[in-house]
Chains A and B, each alone.
Chain A
Amino acid sequence: MGKTARHLRPLAALLGAALALSTTACGGATDASTAAAAVDISGSISGQTINYWSMWKDGEPQQKVIAAAIADFEKETGANVSVQWQGRSNTEKLVPALNTNNVPDLVDGTFAKLAPVIGETGQASPLTSVYSYEVDGKAVSSVIPEKFTSNGVFKGEAGQPWMVPYSISSDGIWFDAAKHPELKAKPPATWDEFIEVLDKLKASGTAPIAADGDVAGYNSTWFVTALLRLKGAGSFKELVEDKSGKGWDDPAVLEAARKVETLVKGGYLNRGYNASKFPAQQQLWANGDASLILNGSWTPTETGSYAAPGFEYSSFQFPAIDDKPASARVDFIGFAVPAKSQNQASAQRLAAFMLSAKYQNALGTEAKVLPVRSDAPVDPAVASVKAAIDAAPATHLQNDGVTFPGFMEKVFFPKDDELFLGKTSADDFIAKMKDAQIQYWKDNG
């Protein structure tokens, strides 16, 4: 034993040193970042280098448009852009980088991914100067539709915007207009008309609605949108924020759950939707084995390769309930600049540059996505969605912008899945959600 102890002594000393090292290493992480002020970005940026971590991978249609814009930007300003085409995991890589001084100068991503990691943690620079910067002779703030920004989604802690969107996505109930011209001519505007359409489709023998029931985010769109139709944009977030959980007693909330229950109980969903693996059901739909699918504006590009010959993409909005003004879902893809970036002016200039008409048009016609500028043309496949967004009086985010830690994944999605997959009734869903939400806020309040 004595011998073992002698052997261990030097090891113990090493371990002690390691412990001391680890505690000092972690001490730095507690420092709060300093809030940056808006910077003047109008001066010359020639010779500066911007480090940009992109959410696109080499070869994607959006990547090609952005790469072309960067080439022009370098020529015009004399700045250098060093791009890493990282793909969608760029936000995951951003989190650890933000704890160091080695941050990218510019990142892009969806609002839903950027907001939790950089927007709401106070790690982003205010981009007020980008919004007032002029592209094509017009301020950036005037080319982004006002209804996208008026509800203050991009406002950070100090009330200044931290994100500049260059593209958007939305959703709709998609169908093949070649097969169903009647839906294109007169889409169901109200819930009752929608159920009529479903009944007709069911009687004709095809499955009315296809749904990939294993994607919780798709399933939740039904309940959340129904609730927003009944109570307006922002009402789901309001319901979830309520620590007492009393909001769930509101009859309108039950009504929204009942609408989902109607779809499930009415047999309108394609058989097997509750036991399949994405993308089986959207493939079925694209092959014409089901008529409708509630899905994002990316549906034409995502299903284009396997759609039935002659498939003509068109969509209508989730129907209105009780003739309330219906908001359209608009999710944003755009730039943010980390507060620790040393190249604020040049990074922000590049963010503004993407809002030029040339690249906005290219996003619409070449990448076939929805540009953020409403004056940019889009591909015919998503024209129906663009028309709906242009006509909508207000907009809402996916899941109404709820990002409380773990709430969607651990509290809402499992219960909403039960409702949508037919394992629980609307009343039970409401009761379970109320309890779970009270517990959530007890633990996380």
Chain B
Amino acid sequence: MTLDVKEPRTDGAAAQSPGSRKAGPRKPQRGSRPGGSSIDAQRKKLLVPFVGPAFVLYTVLFIVPALGAVWISLHKWAGSGPMKFVGLDNYGRIFRDQLFLLSFGNTLLLLFVVGTAIFVLAFALTLVLRDMAGKKIARNVIFFPHLINALVFGVLAGFIFNPGGMVNSLLAPLGVTDPPKWLAQDNIFPLIMVTLVCTTTGYFTTILMAGVDRIPPYYYEDCALAGASAFQRLRYVILPLTWDVFGTCAVLWTISSVKIFEIVWVFGGSSGAGVPPTQSWTAAVYTYVNAFSGQSTPAYGAATASAVLSLALISVLVVLLRRAMRRDAVEF
């Protein structure tokens, strides 16, 4: 099997236009050539007019508020009225707060445990669906849960798991007279994790399948001729050729998992009528309750401190992930 492995990607390579990939054998180390061609010079001139407007918008709408949040996190503030500068006190306080550590732990559980489950399942489904008849329908069916608002799952949980709900009604004829307390406070978070696996797997399966579909069939024919087993085919063809898709999915999941909020809010908290039990809080819920619980004086300082920490967590994890997932890009 001969795959055409190109040189490692340099940082500058990301800016290349897709068209340049097809251009014959590439010269190595183009990025470091001193003068640059006239095209390079043109490109340099266009950087500010092209990137500038987007950059300004992005700065005003995202970076400035983010820096504003950092500024607020150094204060004791009820959202309006006087602000009192307290330095890093808010950070110290939330690190001492058992509840923040618990919420943060839950966020990590979602990120790693749910993430692992999702990717194992998504990969397995991808392999099964690739050869399956009617795979388009199957793909739509497993993608469907992702379209449904998390609120619906929160409300459904009541119908399904209430003491007089569907599950217990189905169990009763089977002689189960003392079913588990499905919606007890300690069970809510595991239920949320299962729900997330069910709803998110289809989404990532779809993305991974797009990557797998891209693999030209002659590689599989090559495998068949070489007598490769299914595992070898996975190991030497499918994984290397979908690695960049996989990496992107991992980053997407990292970012979205740290922000998971609404499903926790509606699963516990009586569909939003109250605050969910603390056992199921994530860092995002912790942030929200501090600022907007509506039951006590808002603590914007502590809320933004926890939001800033979440942002820091995402940034560090994404950098680490990109590093861990970095492989020689395989082009085909």
Q: CB within 8 Å of B: which residues of A?
A: 1-4, 6-7, 10-11, 14-15, 18-19, 21-23, 25-26, 29-30, 32-33, 91-92, 95-96, 98-99, 112-113, 116-118, 120-123, 212, 214-217, 271-272, 274-280, 284, 399, 402-410, 413-414, 417, 421, 443-444
CB pairs A–B below 8 angstroms (10 shown): A25-B64, A25-B68, A95-B298, A216-B277, A278-B158, A280-B158, A408-B296, A414-B278, A417-B277, A443-B93
A106 CA / B82 CA spacing, docked (Å): 22
Task: Report the nearest B residue to A212, measured CB to CB.
Answer: B270
A279 CA / B155 CA spacing, docked (Å): 11
Q: CB within 8 Å of A: which residues of B?
A: 11-12, 31-32, 34, 36, 44, 47-48, 51-52, 55-56, 59-60, 63-64, 67-68, 71-72, 77-83, 93, 96-97, 99, 157-158, 161-165, 181-185, 187, 268-271, 273-275, 277-278, 289-290, 292-299, 302
A406 CA / B300 CA spacing, docked (Å): 11
Task: Report the nearest A residue to B160, measured CB to CB.
Answer: A277
Which of A15, A121, A408 is packed against the most chain B CB atoms within 10 Å? A121
Q: How far is the CB of A88 from chain B (nearest CB, A)?
A: 8
Q: How far is the CB of B129 from chain A (nearest CB, A)?
A: 35
Say whether A276 contacts B296, CB under 8 Å: no
Task: Report the nearest B residue to A443, measured CB to CB.
Answer: B93
Say whether A15 contacts B59, CB under 8 Å: yes
Say whether B81 contacts A123, CB under 8 Å: yes
A308 CA / B60 CA spacing, docked (Å): 57
Say whether B63 contacts A18, CB under 8 Å: yes
Say whether A276 contacts B163, CB under 8 Å: yes
Q: How far is the CB of B63 from chain A (nearest CB, A)?
A: 6
Given contacts A4-B12, A274-B181, A116 and B162 within 8 Å (CB-CB):
no
- In the complex, chain B residues whose CB is within 8 Å of the CB of A10: 47-48, 52
Say whether B164 contacts A278, CB under 8 Å: no
Given contacts A99-B80, A409-B295, A272 and B181 within 8 Å (CB-CB):
yes
User: Which residue in A2, A18, A30, A407 is a CB contact (below 8 Å) of B82?
Assistant: A30
- In the complex, chain A residues whose CB is within 8 Å of the CB of B52: 10, 14
A116 CA / B82 CA spacing, docked (Å): 14
A215 CA / B72 CA spacing, docked (Å): 31
Say whether A277 contacts B277, CB under 8 Å: no
Given contacts A14-B52, A271-B163, A413-B275, A278 and B270 within 8 Å (CB-CB):
yes
Say whether B80 contacts A405, CB under 8 Å: no
Given contacts A25-B64, A277-B157, A405 and B56 within 8 Å (CB-CB):
no
Say whether A33 contacts B81, CB under 8 Å: yes
Say whether B296 contacts A18, CB under 8 Å: no
- In the complex, chain B residues whose CB is within 8 Å of the CB of A274: 181, 184-185
- In the complex, chain A residues whose CB is within 8 Å of the CB of B275: 216, 409, 413
- In the complex, chain B residues whose CB is within 8 Å of the CB of A279: 270
Q: How far is the CB of B134 from chain A (nearest CB, A)?
A: 37
Task: Report the nearest A residue to B64, measured CB to CB.
Answer: A22
- In the complex, chain B residues whose CB is within 8 Å of the CB of A403: 295-297
User: Which residue in B55, B82, B157, B274 is a CB contact (below 8 Å) of A216?
Assistant: B274
A21 CA / B59 CA spacing, docked (Å): 10
- In the complex, chain A residues whose CB is within 8 Å of the CB of B96: 443
User: Which residue in B67, B71, B181, B292 is a CB contact (below 8 Å) of A275?
Assistant: B181
Given contacts A14-B56, A407-B296, A410-B289, A7 and B44 within 8 Å (CB-CB):
yes
Given contacts A26-B71, A95-B80, A275-B182, A15 and B63 within 8 Å (CB-CB):
yes
Task: Report the nearest A residue to B155, measured CB to CB.
Answer: A277
Given contacts A214-B277, A216-B275, A277-B158, A410 and B81 within 8 Å (CB-CB):
no
Say whether B12 contacts A32, CB under 8 Å: no
A408 CA / B268 CA spacing, docked (Å): 17
Say whether A276 contacts B68, CB under 8 Å: no
User: Which residue in A14, A25, A120, A280 is a CB contact (below 8 Å) of B55?
Assistant: A14
A424 CA / B72 CA spacing, docked (Å): 38
Say whether A406 contacts B277, CB under 8 Å: no
Q: How far is the CB of A239 from chain B (nearest CB, A)?
A: 16
- In the complex, chain A residues whose CB is within 8 Å of the CB of B297: 116-117, 120-121, 403-405
- In the complex, chain B residues whose CB is within 8 Å of the CB of A21: 60, 64
- In the complex, chain B residues whose CB is within 8 Å of the CB of A212: 270
Say whether A214 contacts B80, CB under 8 Å: no
Say whether A217 contacts B164, CB under 8 Å: no
Additional A-B contact list (7), CB under 8 Å, known A3-B12, A215-B273, A275-B161: A95-B298, A116-B78, A117-B297, A214-B185, A275-B163, A280-B158, A413-B275
A92 CA / B163 CA spacing, docked (Å): 34
- In the complex, chain A residues whose CB is within 8 Å of the CB of B99: 410, 414
A414 CA / B187 CA spacing, docked (Å): 15
Say whether A275 contacts B183, CB under 8 Å: yes
- In the complex, chain B residues whose CB is within 8 Å of the CB of A98: 79-81
Which of B12, B185, B289 is packed against the most chain A CB atoms within 10 Å? B185
Give 10 nearest A-B pairs by CB, closest first: A272-B163, A278-B270, A275-B181, A121-B81, A277-B158, A98-B80, A95-B79, A18-B59, A116-B297, A405-B299
Say whether A117 contacts B80, CB under 8 Å: yes
User: Which residue in B34, B47, B51, B183 is a CB contact (below 8 Å) of A277?
Assistant: B183
Q: How far is the CB of A324 from chain B (nearest CB, A)?
A: 27
- In the complex, chain A residues whose CB is within 8 Å of the CB of B71: 22-23, 26
Q: How far is the CB of B56 from chain A (nearest CB, A)?
A: 7
A373 CA / B158 CA spacing, docked (Å): 39
Say whether B293 contacts A409, CB under 8 Å: yes
User: Which residue in B12, B59, B278 is a CB contact (below 8 Å) of A410?
Assistant: B278
A414 CA / B302 CA spacing, docked (Å): 19
A29 CA / B204 CA spacing, docked (Å): 43
- In the complex, chain A residues whose CB is within 8 Å of the CB of B163: 271-272, 275-276, 280
- In the complex, chain B residues whose CB is within 8 Å of the CB of A14: 52, 55-56, 59
Say whether B161 contacts A277, CB under 8 Å: yes
User: Which residue in B47, B80, B161, B165 is a CB contact (below 8 Å) of A121?
Assistant: B80
Q: How far is the CB of B48 from chain A (nearest CB, A)?
A: 5
- In the complex, chain B residues whose CB is within 8 Å of the CB of A216: 274-275, 277
User: Which residue in B182, B183, B185, B296 is a CB contact (below 8 Å) of A406?
Assistant: B296
- In the complex, chain B residues whose CB is within 8 Å of the CB of A99: 79-80
